[in-house]
Structure 1
């Protein structure tokens, strides 16, 4: 089995679907096609397991996984300019890229009948706009996803969940004790969710008009001047330190931050929300070149990603949901995993059944008025 990494991991960068094509033509080595018992995957490093032995035992296939950064420009370069579909059987990229690479013919339509476990995937998950083309064509299979919110110190919060986003953005008890993620991609829409709950006219937090973005930035500037925010964090490590050292008591952050701090003995939790979440997804896509035996191997691999062993690993290690969490729970019980591990998997079942069904919002890395939104974010930062 192989698991290679060609660049540093970043679950998501500040994404633009129209990112410039990279100048260097062949950044990723092309695997040989000689071994017909191997499935070859190019994917975001976040989804990779450290040990693929269970995959190989269950499927009878070898795994050759090449990890890449979360970067749509890289995806386009490899798939379009470098014709990576000639060599790779599956791409696992940030959801949304199918709007560009599916409609252009570089990804093929998914055949649900080719997967035994497709029917076990919740409709609210597989129908995500981050897996389907603009015309509703199913190009992607969900691999991992999450509903991001905020982490907090349990002893500092007396209110009961589910919380409002007002806990982060308009909370007099937490003045100077809140950290925000330093990106418009999540922080502006999360603030917009709160404004919607207050009756403000915002149609889609992930695709705001210039006027809506200005209203949201004006609100954030007002709260910034009131002293609400202690810091903007830029990296996973920085968010861990801010919350772990109690420099802040609330941090808009990724769930693995809370998993790590809990392992370190910190009494922190990841919040459930009333208004909605920052929902993201990484999907698997099939290159148009994959046919016959290559295609059969690809679907066999995708079925394994939809099954229990992979889902259990992601839930326990990262707190990420997978497409078939009930299978993960059944696997954990059959293998006699700990109550803590079972609890992590059950939380992911809750996500699929409750959090993912809320209407707002799937992350949109390329909203219609992205330049205006970016400008409003910079105005907030400079205020």
Structure 2
């Protein structure tokens, strides 16, 4: 008897909560091996060993992995609702802020370069996007006058020394740290999403100084770590929305800031390994098509993520869920997180408002900086200092 086909999928735990894994495994006619590792380790594996995976949920690195020939082009004609991706690219001028950088390097051009002009071939299938800021416990607000606008500078404010946490990811962490330095030190970087060597040094030196003063209580690796740090005395930290949903399901009061300087925007997309062929390639397309039916998008909506084609998700959400997560309306019923635990109380309104309101406040999108190698070296100093 031949071995059953197995599709190997790399992604972060934030993108692939248990409910997604279970639904995909139930619906697809082959085995699934989910490899849940952080962005840095995932990127290293994808670039160096494309033969060890079939599908990759990539974060802001598609230009790098395409140049490294770790992924292959995706034929939108084999993707359910693929034409909607093309249509969205053509009409995105009406809501460019909400889509942001998703389409900038999406389509394969006749020259072999990546660009925004629609074609039948893409190098990633757009999937999820959203905004991140810092989360805080209500006790943190006691340090500021009532009504004080939220600011990234709070991450470095000495009034919170010993009660702040940061994430370990060098790319996202450096962007958030740069936003904090701008606000706290009253300076302005030319491009927060693409810092120069000198600007990286400025941010890294401030972080190292703060760390020596005991400013940071901990540094987290994933959303579960972030939730635990909030349970152990941290009152303000960089935070992903799944951690907020998890904490609220545990009855812990936590809010997501609406920084006056703007959010950090992000998107997660699906890529196919350059080594996938034959039955493995067919299975990879089947997995992409499963996501394009909206079921997975509905699951991660319940932790605060947005699907690239919201209308495909809406049939899989209760009206109260759509109204809260996308329309920015008060919750009419108790809403649950992906694990099925209550995380939104009746009457709650999502911080920042509706989908378009929140996405229009993006200040910078996750990106792979030109000085990435130097950035990682300085960030490692911060982590190990």
Tell me, yes or no, whether TM beats 0.5: yes
Match of 1:107 in 2: 72
Structure 1: which 5+ residue stretches go unaligned? 1-29, 34-38
Note if 1:310 corresponds to 2:277. no
**Alignment size in residue pairs:** 336
For residues 184-199 of structure 1, what are the structure 2 equivalents within 5 Å? 184-197=170-183
Cα deviation, residue 266, structure 1: 0.8
Structure-2 separation of matches of 1:302 and 1:349: 31
Q: Kindly indicate whether the alpha-carbon contact (under 8 Å) linking 1:329 and 1:346 is maintained by their aligned counterparts in 2.
A: no
Q: Residues 31 and 219 (structure 1 numbering): CA distance in 2 closer, same or farther, change over 3 Å? A: farther
Cα deviation, residue 379, structure 1: 5.4
Q: Residues 206 and 120 (structure 1 numbering): CA distance in 2 closer, same or farther, change over 3 Å? A: closer
Q: Kindly indicate whether the alpha-carbon contact (under 8 Å) linking 1:161 and 1:272 is maintained by their aligned counterparts in 2.
A: no
Structure-1 separation of matches of 2:304 and 2:219: 20
Cα deviation, residue 62, structure 1: 1.9
Structure 2: which 5+ residue stretches go unaligned? 117-121, 323-332, 338-342
Structure-2 separation of matches of 1:175 and 1:205: 25
Note if 1:268 corresponds to 2:247. no
Q: Residues 162-204 of structure 1: CA distance to partner in whole angstroms, max 9, x if unpaired?
A: 621012223x542332222244333332132244456524122
- 2:309 paired residue among 324, 327, 331: 324
Match of 2:236 in 1: 250
Match of 2:153 in 1: 166
Match of 2:329 in 1: none
Note if 1:135 corresponds to 2:114. yes
Cα deviation, residue 128, structure 1: 4.8
Match of 2:318 in 1: 333
Match of 2:267 in 1: 281
Q: Kindly indicate whether the alpha-carbon contact (under 8 Å) linking 2:69 and 2:274 is maintained by their aligned counterparts in 1.
A: no
Match of 1:373 in 2: 375
Match of 1:9 in 2: none
Match of 1:65 in 2: 32
Q: Kindly indicate whether the alpha-carbon contact (under 8 Å) linking 1:143 and 1:283 is maintained by their aligned counterparts in 2.
A: yes
Q: Kindly indicate whether the alpha-carbon contact (under 8 Å) linking 2:101 and 2:365 is maintained by their aligned counterparts in 1.
A: no
Match of 1:206 in 2: 193
Structure-2 separation of matches of 1:336 and 1:212: 42
Q: Kindly indicate whether the alpha-carbon contact (under 8 Å) linking 2:134 and 2:256 is maintained by their aligned counterparts in 1.
A: yes
Match of 1:176 in 2: 162
Provide the secondary structure at the position in 2 that maps to 1:150: strand
Structure-2 separation of matches of 1:348 and 1:62: 40
Structure-1 separation of matches of 2:376 and 2:57: 27
RMSD of equivalent CA atoms: 4.3
Q: Residues 379 and 50 (structure 1 numbering): CA distance in 2 closer, same or farther, change over 3 Å? A: closer
Provide the secondary structure at the position in 2 that maps to 1:157: helix
Q: Kindly indicate whether the alpha-carbon contact (under 8 Å) linking 1:279 and 1:362 is maintained by their aligned counterparts in 2.
A: yes
Moved more, 269-278 or 111-120: 111-120
